[in-house]
């Protein structure tokens, strides 16, 4: 049962020492600087699961100075190749819907209705598997690439095996069929899954005179082995009408077959009644056989022996049964139709031994089915995990069994139970896919212990190629109060926008994250642009900031400053003046901008009409003095002619304004 180790293509441990690091969904393998001393070569044991898809990413190692830096490669080894198979996407998507429905389904339903509900869920999963099988089969038939065809065919057989196992688990665990119905379910199971004989059956039935067909008796045997009495009898009647000499024999056999007691699904008879009837019928068959009734027709005699449950007679038809579990069910049908679930294990083991008879050894599938017959659920899951390359099957099956309350907490070393472990593994695999990760989110949500932590780690690694994708990721984080991740994602998007000169987008992202620091950054950019160009860019944004202006002081300043310009443009000077002053005195404006603001005040001071009141003028003067006094490097300041001129002009304008306003305010207005 061991999976052969996979070699990472291109990584050669004999040439360079390799190091590796585990990521959330992949393994990074890196070539180090150190080359192998001596000739010892050790194979790299890749990820134990089959299907390691390695992608070499060329990178260079920074030169250490010890010699020429050589380029190293980093390999990204993904553990799950299956999620990239196009045709399996339907399986993942549909099963996600079923999974969610199951998690949300009412637990208050008790007893029978709950069981019926769970059986329905199981059936839904199986029908999805079958639909996928159908698609895969179509793909295999229609493709011309032989490699692809091989891959699809393999997938079809894997899916088929999965459905076989799931179906058995449904019968034994979910539905927990009791003695009686158990046999009927097993018969259905066999009929559904042993299809190697279907083409033969079709051939005989569609031929002109079936009873003359050379495979006629084979088909009759198949029907008998599968308990399909009506169909067997129908075929036999054709033989009888073609061969009147055996009419007598045929009538007796037909009668026996008709009378055979079988368990019924409804509660029309108890097990004891059935056993009694069956005993009588069995004895009747025995009598006919011993009387030599069928002696002249070996086919019919063999059928009678089969009806009597003669193991050798049944084993003779090995090729028609093809599998040991078919043999098991046939045996049970004809020797212990009222078999109880817990008795199955003994019959299963002996059936397998008899059928294989030392010619071949059991395959993994056989071991899994055997574990199921032995009601060793944990064993089933363990074996499936080893054999299958993808966690899909075990994760969903275990979840369903857990909902049936069948799994005791099977503590693994990190303390969470098996169901959660499998779901975490499955969902982690989904996260390495560029689009199926959305399904993974819901699975993490339903892992109570570690789901959130896993989600937090994975969600930050999703590449955000478009804004729409970023919005979806953000929505997921916000719904789960993952504030750290929200902030981090918004910062990333805002930075990207800023680099691309999309200041409005950047602001939009900072508003979403309520990131005041970034809003300040963006405002500084705007102000810088203004200082350099003398006009505002993106007026549609600044003019329409609305309440988001309050996110950061700098942003508020930007909005108000722009408002000042607007007021000035509309010639509403007193209001403009008031606003300008407020900007400085209320310390909304950054100190670096005060000079600009004061310079903006100049035209207002030079107006014909006096705008600033005395009070306001004193304020302005104070601001100017604060500004010039606060400057430590007076020498530098004085050297800069432009600056000095500006300050002087301002002082002059302020003084003049003061003079005019004192006069104006002192004058008593004429009535």
- Which residues lie near other proteins (CB under 8 A)? 86, 89-90, 93, 96-97, 100-101, 434-435, 438-439, 442, 465-468, 471-472, 475, 479, 499-505, 507-508, 511, 537-538, 540-541, 544-548
C-alpha span between 290 and 451 (Å, rounded): 67
Contacts of 600 (CB under 8 A, 6+ apart): 564, 580
Give least dist CB 140 to other proteins, A.
17
C-alpha span between 341 and 173 (Å, rounded): 10
CB 162 within 8 A of CB 129: yes
Taking the least distance from each CB to other proteins, the nearer of 112 and 499 is 499
Give least dist CB 549 to other proteins, A.
10
Taking the least distance from each CB to other proteins, the nearer of 16 and 433 is 433
Taking the least distance from each CB to other proteins, the nearer of 90 and 299 is 90
CB 325 within 8 A of CB 190: yes
Taking the least distance from each CB to other proteins, the nearer of 351 and 505 is 505
Contacts of 408 (CB under 8 A, 6+ apart): none
Taking the least distance from each CB to other proteins, the nearer of 452 and 502 is 502
Taking the least distance from each CB to other proteins, the nearer of 545 and 661 is 545
CA triple 421-427-429, angle to 5 deg: 105
Taking the least distance from each CB to other proteins, the nearer of 133 and 249 is 133
Burial class (CB in 10 A: 0-12, 13-18, 19+), 367: middle
CB 356 within 8 A of CB 260: no
Taking the least distance from each CB to other proteins, the nearer of 259 and 434 is 434
Taking the least distance from each CB to other proteins, the nearer of 55 and 259 is 55
Give least dist CB 198 to other proteins, A.
26
Cα-atom radius of gyration of the chain, to the nearest Å? 42
| 441: its two tokens | 């989110």
Q: How is the chain split among helix, strand and coil, in percent rounded to 5? A: 65, 5, 30
Give least dist CB 165 to other proteins, A.
26
How many Cβ atoms sit within 10 Å of the Cβ of residue 152?
21
Give least dist CB 142 to other proteins, A.
12
Give least dist CB 402 to other proteins, A.
21
Main-chain phi, psi angles of 257, to 5 degrees: -65, -35
Give least dist CB 535 to other proteins, A.
14
CB 593 within 8 A of CB 528: no
Taking the least distance from each CB to other proteins, the nearer of 143 and 613 is 143
Give least dist CB 145 to other proteins, A.
16
The kind and range of the H/E element at 666 are helix 641-666
> Among 144, 6, 184, which residue's Cα sits nearest to residue 79?
6
CB 131 within 8 A of CB 477: no
C-alpha span between 122 and 118 (Å, rounded): 6
In angstroms, the Cα distances linking 668 to 254, 366, 663 are 132, 112, 10
Give least dist CB 86 to other proteins, A.
7
In angstroms, the Cα distances linking 388 to 68, 165, 491 are 46, 12, 41
Give least dist CB 512 to other proteins, A.
8
């Amino acid at each position: 049962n061991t999976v052969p180790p996979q070699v990472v293509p291109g990584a050669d441990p004999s040439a360079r020492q390799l190091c590796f690091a585990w990521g959330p969904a992949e393994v990074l393998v890196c070539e180090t600087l150190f080359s192998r001393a001596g000739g010892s070569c050790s194979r790299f044991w890749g990820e134990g699961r089959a299907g390691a898809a390695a992608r070499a990413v060329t990178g260079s190692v920074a030169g250490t100075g010890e010699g020429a830096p050589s380029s190293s490669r980093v390999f990204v080894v993904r553990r799950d190749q299956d999620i990239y198979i196009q045709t399996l996407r339907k399986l993942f998507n549909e099963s996600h819907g079923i999974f969610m429905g199951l998690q949300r389904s009412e637990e208050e339903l008790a007893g029978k209705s709950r069981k019926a509900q769970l059986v329905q869920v199981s059936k839904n999963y199986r029908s999805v598997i079958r639909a996928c099988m159908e698609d895969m089969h179509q793909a295999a038939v229609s493709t011309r690439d032989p490699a692809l065809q091989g891959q699809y065919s393999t997938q079809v057989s894997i899916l088929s095996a999965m459905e076989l196992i799931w179906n058995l688990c449904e019968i034994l665990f979910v539905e927990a069929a009791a003695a009686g119905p158990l046999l009927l379910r097993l018969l259905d199971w066999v009929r559904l899954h042993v299809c190697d004989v279907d083409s033969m059956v079709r051939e005989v039935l569609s031929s002109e005179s079936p009873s003359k067909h050379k495979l006629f008796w084979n088909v009759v045997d198949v029907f008998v082995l599968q308990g399909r009495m009506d169909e067997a009898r129908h075929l036999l009647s054709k033989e009888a009408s073609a061969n009147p000499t055996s009419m007598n024999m045929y009538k007796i056999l037909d009668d026996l077959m008709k009378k055979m007691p079988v368990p019924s699904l409804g509660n029309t008879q108890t097990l004891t009644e059935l056993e009694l009837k069956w005993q009588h019928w069995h004895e009747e068959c025995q009598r006919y056989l011993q009387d030599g009734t069928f002696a002249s027709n070996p086919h019919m005699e063999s059928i009678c022996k089969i009806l009597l449950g003669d193991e050798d007679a049944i084993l003779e038809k090995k090729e028609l049964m093809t599998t040991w579990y078919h043999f098991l069910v046939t045996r049970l049908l004809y020797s212990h139709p009222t078999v109880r679930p817990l008795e199955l294990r003994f019959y299963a083991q002996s059936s397998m031994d008899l059928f294989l008879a030392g010619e071949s050894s059991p395959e993994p599938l056989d071991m899994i089915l055997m574990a199921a017959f032995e009601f060793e659920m944990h064993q089933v899951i363990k074996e499936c995990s080893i054999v299958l390359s993808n966690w899909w099957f075990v994760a969903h099956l275990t979840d369903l069994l857990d909902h049936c309350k069948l799994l005791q907490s099977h503590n693994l070393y990190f303390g969470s139970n098996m169901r959660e472990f499998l779901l975490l593994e499955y969902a982690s695999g989904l996260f390495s896919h560029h689009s199926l990760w959305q399904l993974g989110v819901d699975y993490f949500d339903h892992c109570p212990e570690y789901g959130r932590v896993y989600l937090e780690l994975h969600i930050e690694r999703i590449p955000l190629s478009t804004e729409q994708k970023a919005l979806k990721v953000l929505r997921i984080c916000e719904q789960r109060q993952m504030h750290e991740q929200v902030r981090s994602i918004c910062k990333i998007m805002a930075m990207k926008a800023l680099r691309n000169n999309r200041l409005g987008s950047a602001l939009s992202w900072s508003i979403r994250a309520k990131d005041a620091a970034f809003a300040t950054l963006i405002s500084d950019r705007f102000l810088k642009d203004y200082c350099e160009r003398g006009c505002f860019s993106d007026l549609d944004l600044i003019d329409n900031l609305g309440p988001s202006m309050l996110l950061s002081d700098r942003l508020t300043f930007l909005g108000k400053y722009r408002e000042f310009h607007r007021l000035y443009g509309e010639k509403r000077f007193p209001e403009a003046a008031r606003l300008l002053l407020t900007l400085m005195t209320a310390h909304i404006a950054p100190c670096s901008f005060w000079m600009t603001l004061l310079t903006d005040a100049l035209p207002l001071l030079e107006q014909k009409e006096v705008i600033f009141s005395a009070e306001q003028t004193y304020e302005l003067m104070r601001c100017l003095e604060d500004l010039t006094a606060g400057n430590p490097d007076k020498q530098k300041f004085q050297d800069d002619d432009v600056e000095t001129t500006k300050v002087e002009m301002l002082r002059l304008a302020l003084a003049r304004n003061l003079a005019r306003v004192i006069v104006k305010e002192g004058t008593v207005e004429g009535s």
